[in-house]
Every structure is written in C-alpha cells, then in structure tokens.
Amino acid sequence: MSGAGDAAGFTNALRAYLGSQGGGSYGAYLEELGSGATIGVNDTTDLEAASVIKVPEAIYLLRQVDAGQVKLDDMVTLQAGDFMSGTGSLYGTAKPGDQYSYRQLLTLLIQQSDNTAWLALRRVLGDASINGYAASIGAGDCDQVSDECSPRSVGHMLAQLARGRLISASSTQMLLGLLETTIFNDRINYYLPNVTIAHKVGMDTSVRNDCGVVFLSNDPFAICVFTTVDDVDQGTQVIRDIARAAAWHYSH
C-alpha cells in the first residue's frame, strides 16, 4: 500500500487494497492524534463490532467512577444470566452468586475480553445509559444490544480517550494500561512489535476486528478496522496490513 505521507494518496491506496480483497465487508478509520486529521474507507458503515463494543462500556464505567456514582472496589454479584461462553475465564471458573469488584470485571473485560464481565456490567450499568453516553461523545451508532458500530465511531472514541478528553487522567491511564496489556495481539500489533499499542479486538464467526491507538514516538494515531469475511484469516491479515501501512504513512 503506497501513498506514504500523502493523505489523499493513502486513502486511494487503502480503497484499492480493500477493493482487491474480494467478498466481505470492510471498514477502516485512521485519526492522527496531533492534528485530528482523519482517513477513512467505509468508515461510517455500521458493522458487527463483536467485542469492540466493550470499549464504550469500559469508558462509561470509569466515567461513573469519576463522578462518584460507583467505586472500583464496589462488588457486583454475578447472576445466572450474566454467564456467556467464548472469550474470558469467568464462564469456566465463576458461578452465580460469586462477587467481583468493578475493578476485577473491568480488568477481565479488557485484558481477556471476558463475555461474562461484559454482560454483568451491562446489567448493572444499563444498556440505555451506556448507549446514551456513547451517543453523547459522538458514537451514537455503537449499540450494546445489536452489537453494531462504525469504525469511525470507535476510532474517534479511542483518539479522544488517548487525548485525555473523556475521563479523568487517572482513569485514562488505567484504561490505556489495560488496553496495552490485552492477551490478544495478533492483529494491529503483528508487524509493530516494538510499538506501544492500546487496543481492543473483536471476533465472531466471520468477524475479525481491532481498534486502538498506536503510540508512534513521532506521530501517534488511532486506528479501527472492521472485517466481516468468510475467511477470518483474511480479515486478520487485512488488519495487519492496514496497521503496518498506517504506521509507515504517519512516520514518513
């Protein structure tokens, strides 16, 4: 993918690259943290977010902590309806009636992409409240129930988080730290092994997503790529390729 240093050229190269991938749905969004300049292809299209939908939930929880509505060490009692298989360790290790703090649930939510933590937090925080907060920061298409969002909404949300504009400095530092230490690092990180990257993956039957902030020393940027394809390995490779090309673009 060419067009290094030239936003229009890079956009055209990105569009051509995605157009060459065959069947499936793709959306990609980039935002330079310093200037706020953006690049996008199909970036306003709502696609399945998969576990990327956990990002607005995490930010909203910390917003409530900042406002004194909840404390990170307050306990949440798990209910039978909270349990969901897939990613995360709670489904296999916890049982209804067990108690976990908001801090523990947030940590599992981000580092392990724990589905049970996601459902428990949705229950106690409320879908309407989480979605309403997302809408208030320009991500009204991010819906906890339908699990849909656009790459632009998540990418801009993460850019705002990294700029410290959504939650307090301590909450921002905590969430970025969790996003930097997720156990899933096979996408944005793949060709950028020595770069600090705070990100959240999403995956489902035909979905491979990854959205985050790439902290290049000279020009950090937010990136969000959604893919829905028959061959999920292809989706994974698309994310890797775009992340590598974007890092080259912003560093030249």
Mean pLDDT of the chain: 96
Contact at 8 Å (CB) between 161 and 167? yes
Dist. CA 77–CA 63, nearest whole Å? 21
pLDDT of 22: 86
* pLDDT tens column, 78-128: 999 999 999 999 999 999 999 999 999 999 999 999 999 999 999 999 999
Hey, is 160 helix, strand or coil? Answer: helix
* pLDDT tens column, 173-230: 999 999 999 999 999 999 999 999 999 999 999 999 999 999 999 999 999 999 999 9
Residues 6+ apart with CB under 8 A from 60: 125, 129, 130, 133, 134
The H-or-E segment that residue 72 falls in is: none
The H-or-E segment that residue 238 falls in is: helix 232-250
pLDDT of 237: 98
* pLDDT tens column, 28-60: 999 999 999 999 999 999 999 999 999 999 999
Contact at 8 Å (CB) between 167 and 175? yes
What the chain holds in terms of domains, given with CATH numbers, is 7-250 (3.40.710.10)
pLDDT of 3: 44
pLDDT above 70 covers what percent of the chain? 98
Give me 144's structure tokens: 């906890």
Dist. CA 234–CA 38, nearest whole Å? 25
Q: How confident is the model at residue 5 (pLDDT cuts 50, 70, 90)?
A: low
pTM of the full structure: 0.97
